[in-house]
Structure 1
Amino acid sequence: MSDFDNSDGIDRKGSPMMPRFVFDDRHACDVTEAYMHLLAEAVRQAGYPAVDAGEAAPSRRDVMVTDEVLVALRYRLLGYRRHVVWIQGLVPEESYMRHRSRLRRFVLSRIEKYVLRRAELLLFVSQEMLLHYERKYRLPLGSKSFVMPCFCEREPYIPAQNAKKDKGSFAYIGSLAAWQCFSQTAAFYAEIERRAKYPTKFIVLTEDTQRAVAILAESGAVRYEVKCLRGEALARALLPIRYGFVLREEDPVNRVATPTKLSVYAACGIVPIYSPVLADFSLRAARKGYGIPVSLPAKEEDIETVLRDMEKTQPEAASGRFLFDDYYYADGYRDRLAELLRERFAEAPKKRRVLITVGHLRTGGIANALYALLAEIHTLYDITLIAADGRVERDRIPSDVSVFPSDALLRATETPRCRLRELSLPAKLFRITGAAFAKLFGKRIPFSFLCRRMKRKLPDFDAAVSFSQPSPVRSFCNISCELALFGCRAARRIAFLHCDFEKYGANTAGNRRLYRKFDRVCAVSEGAAASFLRCMPQMRERLAVVPNILDGRRILSLAASGEDCFPNARHPIILSVARLSPEKGHLRCIPLMRRLREAGFLFEWHIVGTGPCERAIADAISQNHLSDTVFLHGETKNPYRYMAQADFLFHPSFHEAAPLVFSEAVLLSLPVLATETSSAGELLGENGILCAAGDGALYHALEKFLSQRSYERLCRAEETEMRLSRLAGRTEASVRAFRMAVEGAL
């Protein structure tokens, strides 16, 4: 028998159970799904379970989360007493506008008042809505209310950043409900069309296409198009549009409204033509001079204002982006709502405390993968991060992740000789003597000294995670594994494996002993896992595969920066993005490039990255007289703009585990030519061509790739949202695998 009796919410010891939040979204659409998803994120961040009503039978102890007062009433009558209700609009007033029934309005008002009075938490879409209900029902609701506007876009649409706008183009999206004032909108556009000095066009995106056509024909408009589009197709259709209509009449329904279409217009760089009766939005837009306010009924001067604005040069596509800093800032609402939930409901269980250690987060795949992982898991755990070199991009880390400061001695382990002057004298001496000692006797003793110092400073953790593999035994760097094992007190210890353990040069008895001390080893690919098991088959039961995570939207945004990376290029662009280290194989390719050029091939090879082989590669370029063919770009925080403009990615590694650049290339639809390493086929699939790692095989693969222009056949035209959707599925699977490793589930 269960330890809990779910009918009354009391366990058998007499203690109250933690509430579970059950979501019932009866009439799901894009808007309500986005809103309810954000509410569920806040519930989980607060530490409570969130489930769908269709997947779990509710108990009387549960908190029912609904988006309609009638659904909330139904649960109330069935005996469920705890409610969170999202009020989307003024239901009685909207009903009266549809049906003109005073009796119906009266009954709905009584139901609405009953639900408002008894709900534990109310979610309103505007401050005006909260004030409306307090005045109408004379109820003090402020103490149990949370205000968040309706919006379905969390950030600006990436392709809109460089989209060219047609200055005579207008759009309307949404339903044709009475309060949406589409007839007045059509008449307003028809007058603009009649007076404009050049052709205009009006695109209407609605499900009620036949009625829209009839209204437009009656208005006298001529140049219009009516469609029913959703998602990515809708966003693409709006890219060339300059103006978007949101005209409303003065009435209570519109005064409290926060139309979702305004977030879509802002995301797509569209100038809204809106009515000031939309008080919540108007207040923010007026401060920045954003949009064109037009009250209904429209006046002569309103039409003239729009016509004058049309004469202006290309508007700034990012003009509405400021709204995503606060008004449409989903993360901010989620954090504040999570705090409110913790205050209003029973105390949530404390999150597991997790320590994550890493050598450095300067650049590279490990850094980007960890930043992306933190963005996905920060609401699940109380996380402390230690980067040994102390250099962390704080703006890429969620605000609730603690960064433990590295002291001078710890930073010394990640300080190269060329930067020794940055260290204090004691740290400099430790760096020199420690490196010399490690060269002669191994790193164990100096690293043990550092770990004992850190252990005294750090609190206890439920889990310690090393996010990178150990360095060779006689190398004085990357103390990540040692910190997770010996530098803290933790109930569970996990190590990540980002390399081909069999070949990466640190498969030593000492490092194998380190791995045997971990409760779980997480390889970032199936290929990396297989390589590890060939060296340590006894670890099979403790090995998991946790693929790296990409921040897809950030990558696509950086790729669309618009700056021309190859302004003088006249030939196919070969691109390599990697650390310039011996195992990456760039140096051996310089003579191959000379042979290709001597054979008559025209191309450019651009290399983005830095590392210990950079000087040798530069010298080889000079010695082979390839300064007009091979170009070194050094380190950059935005390699994605290069990837967006190259013809194909070239990755000639001798050995490799799961380079993040492969996944990034797939996301950016960049074809790949790579050597056949442990995970290349697994990560690339049909997006790349693999060859053997020998020089001869590489030369023939390049020759064939260039002569047959194979890279053009590998280009995949795919919608951005489709790529992001597929990426989201993989991200969810990776987070699930990470949680299993950290929490001990098998």
Structure 2
Amino acid sequence: MKKKKILITSFDLAIGGVERSLIGLLNQLDYQRYDVDLMLFKHEGEFFSYIPPGPRLLPENCSYATFRKSISQIAKDRQIPLAVTRTLAKYIGTWHGKLKKVAEPGYLEIQYGWEMTNPFLPKFEKEYDAAIGFLWPHHFIGNKVKAKKRIGWIHTDYSNIYLNQKLESRMWQSIDDIVAVSEECSNTFLNIYPDFKGKTTVIENILSSEFIREQAMAENAEEIIKKKGRTVLVTVGRLSHAKGLDDAIRACRILVDKGYDLEWYVVGYGPLESELKQLIDELDLQERFFLLGKKTNPYPYIKASDIYVQPSRYEGKAVTIREAQILGKPVVITNFPTAKSQARNEVDALITSKGIEGIVLGVQRMIDDPILRKTLISNVNANEYGNQEEIQKLYKLIES
């Protein structure tokens, strides 16, 4: 039987939950059944070496690589139309964000960036049976690729981001199937764009329990030195507004002042690094709260924790929560809008209220209540969180 031709696209393979999910997908695809091209706009990122042998990595395209470059670098490369439109998009996105008092105007800047540079980007000549856009936005597969079917992924909670809805709706109209990574993620999207209900489905991030456990044993978390009587908290995530790490730092100060002997380690990087470091200094937490930066393999750090904490303001689907459960950890998560699609309260995680007070109460209870901790650990160890069978849902979309 002739193989179907599939294109999968994303920006790069920098450290992140979406990128780990993409590697999980690439590892599960049936390459006897599909001929897969992988289009990364930029050939970079700590997970780049994790690309399995199955897909064919397409050459980097200089026009699309600009979406991982600064405007000044684009101008230096003499891609003047792209530099001009990106500058204009940044200005409009920032202005729109200020006008609406948006907490994270970056989404608007990205949206306008794609909309305004679109006329200057090249089309792909090769035709595919299916083109899959793994990371928003999806103008590339919607406008620049010949494909019988276009499938676009949603990884975020639409109730917590602000976009130009008219432009966003127009983009999704060019997509045949919309994939959300959780039911709640789907619901928040459809609350804003109900017209797309008929073509929206849920496919969870594909995780291999075996791979995660192997990676957890592959290295040591050298920065974490266990001290008798001291509780080690770990969080993995981008240093951004969404992850609530500023709240976590303030909660840590309160917990230490209450007499809790703990250390809190954060694995990740992002735009708020300098602000978070400044907050740590202001609250005199240099010996209690640690930003460890990028780690290609975060699993040894999760494994080294006594409690895994996800203090997010919002999430689409936090891969790290499931990874911590796979590694048998008691988990504290804030009650962000999609939290109940991630865990069952007091069954395989403790769901606490959002914000500083909620984080304090959640961590405090997890430390003070050994029976709860043992129950959560027992339950997560008894559960099989690997979900490789999710790939069958994607096959159905491709074949339908």
Unaligned runs of 5+ in 1: 1-348, 471-480
Tell me the residue number matched to 1:443: 113
| Mapped contact 2:26–2:54 kept (Cα < 8 A) | no
Deviation string, structure 1 residues 520-552 (Cα, Å, up to 9, x no partner): 101111111111111111211111111110133
Tell me the residue number matched to 1:398: 52
Which of residues 232, 247, 261 in structure 2 aligns to 1:602?
Answer: 261
Structure 1 residues 707 and 637: CA distance shift in structure 2, 3 A? same
Matched, 1:585 2:280: no
| Mapped contact 2:314–2:338 kept (Cα < 8 A) | no
By how many angstroms is 1:712 displaced?
A: 4.1
Deviation string, structure 1 residues 184-233 (Cα, Å, up to 9, x no partner): xxxxxxxxxxxxxxxxxxxxxxxxxxxxxxxxxxxxxxxxxxxxxxxxxx
Tell me the residue number matched to 2:362: 701
Structure with larger Rg: 1
Which of residues 368, 379, 391 in structure 2 aligns to 1:735?
Answer: 391
Structure 1 residues 560 and 400: CA distance shift in structure 2, 3 A? closer
Matched, 1:513 2:170: yes
Matched, 1:360 2:43: no
| Mapped contact 2:239–2:273 kept (Cα < 8 A) | yes
By how many angstroms is 1:360 displaced?
A: 2.0
Structure 1 residues 554 and 586: CA distance shift in structure 2, 3 A? same
Give the 5 Å matches for 1:615-626: 615-626=274-285
1:357 is paired with a residue of what secondary structure? strand
Aligned counterparts of 1:694 and 1:718: Cα–Cα separation in 2: 25
| Mapped contact 2:142–2:150 kept (Cα < 8 A) | yes
Structure 1 residues 718 and 615: CA distance shift in structure 2, 3 A? closer
Comparing both chains, which one has the higher relative contact order based on Cα–Cα distances under 8 Å and sequence gaps of 6 or more? 2
Q: Which amino acid aligns with 1:439?
A: K
Tell me the residue number matched to 1:383: 36
TM-score by length of 1: 0.48
2:152 is paired with a residue of what secondary structure? strand
1:600 is paired with a residue of what secondary structure? coil
By how many angstroms is 1:429 displaced?
A: 5.0
Aligned counterparts of 1:394 and 1:595: Cα–Cα separation in 2: 40
Tell me the residue number matched to 2:350: 689
By how many angstroms is 1:630 displaced?
A: 0.3
Tell me the residue number matched to 1:109: none
Matched, 1:652 2:300: no
Structure 1 residues 430 and 668: CA distance shift in structure 2, 3 A? farther
Instruction: Give the root-mean-square deviation of aligned CA atoms.
Output: 2.3
By how many angstroms is 1:678 displaced?
A: 3.3
2:378 is paired with a residue of what secondary structure? coil
| Mapped contact 1:573–1:604 kept (Cα < 8 A) | yes
Aligned counterparts of 2:286 and 2:374: Cα–Cα separation in 1: 26
Matched, 1:370 2:22: yes
Aligned counterparts of 1:429 and 1:357: Cα–Cα separation in 2: 25
Matched, 1:711 2:373: yes
Structure 1 residues 518 and 638: CA distance shift in structure 2, 3 A? same
Aligned counterparts of 2:4 and 2:255: Cα–Cα separation in 1: 56
Give the 5 Å matches for 1:142-157: none
Q: Which amino acid aligns with 2:376?
A: L
Q: Which amino acid aligns with 1:697?
A: G
Tell me the residue number matched to 1:572: 231
1:580 is paired with a residue of what secondary structure? coil
By how many angstroms is 1:563 displaced?
A: 2.0
Structure 1 residues 564 and 542: CA distance shift in structure 2, 3 A? closer
Matched, 1:675 2:334: yes
Structure 1 residues 590 and 406: CA distance shift in structure 2, 3 A? same
By how many angstroms is 1:558 displaced?
A: 1.4
- Give the % identical residues: 23
Aligned counterparts of 1:574 and 1:398: Cα–Cα separation in 2: 32
Aligned counterparts of 2:13 and 2:81: Cα–Cα separation in 1: 22
| Mapped contact 1:575–1:643 kept (Cα < 8 A) | yes
Unaligned runs of 5+ in 2: 93-111
Aligned counterparts of 2:164 and 2:359: Cα–Cα separation in 1: 27
TM-score by length of 2: 0.87
Give the 5 Å matches for 1:131-170: none
By how many angstroms is 1:482 displaced?
A: 0.8
1:505 is paired with a residue of what secondary structure? coil
By how many angstroms is 1:607 displaced?
A: 0.6
Aligned counterparts of 2:160 and 2:231: Cα–Cα separation in 1: 33
1:560 is paired with a residue of what secondary structure? helix
| Mapped contact 2:82–2:117 kept (Cα < 8 A) | no
| Mapped contact 1:384–1:401 kept (Cα < 8 A) | yes
Aligned counterparts of 1:358 and 1:352: Cα–Cα separation in 2: 20
Tell me the residue number matched to 1:636: 295
1:413 is paired with a residue of what secondary structure? helix
Aligned counterparts of 2:272 and 2:2: Cα–Cα separation in 1: 48
Structure 1 residues 416 and 666: CA distance shift in structure 2, 3 A? farther
Tell me the residue number matched to 1:522: 179
Q: Which amino acid aligns with 2:225?
A: P
Tell me the residue number matched to 2:98: none
Aligned counterparts of 1:387 and 1:625: Cα–Cα separation in 2: 42
Deviation string, structure 1 residues 598-637 (Cα, Å, up to 9, x no partner): 1111101101100011111111000100001001100100
Structure 1 residues 601 and 635: CA distance shift in structure 2, 3 A? same
By how many angstroms is 1:395 displaced?
A: 4.3
By how many angstroms is 1:664 displaced?
A: 0.7
Matched, 1:539 2:191: no
Tell me the residue number matched to 1:497: 154
1:514 is paired with a residue of what secondary structure? helix
| Mapped contact 1:573–1:646 kept (Cα < 8 A) | yes
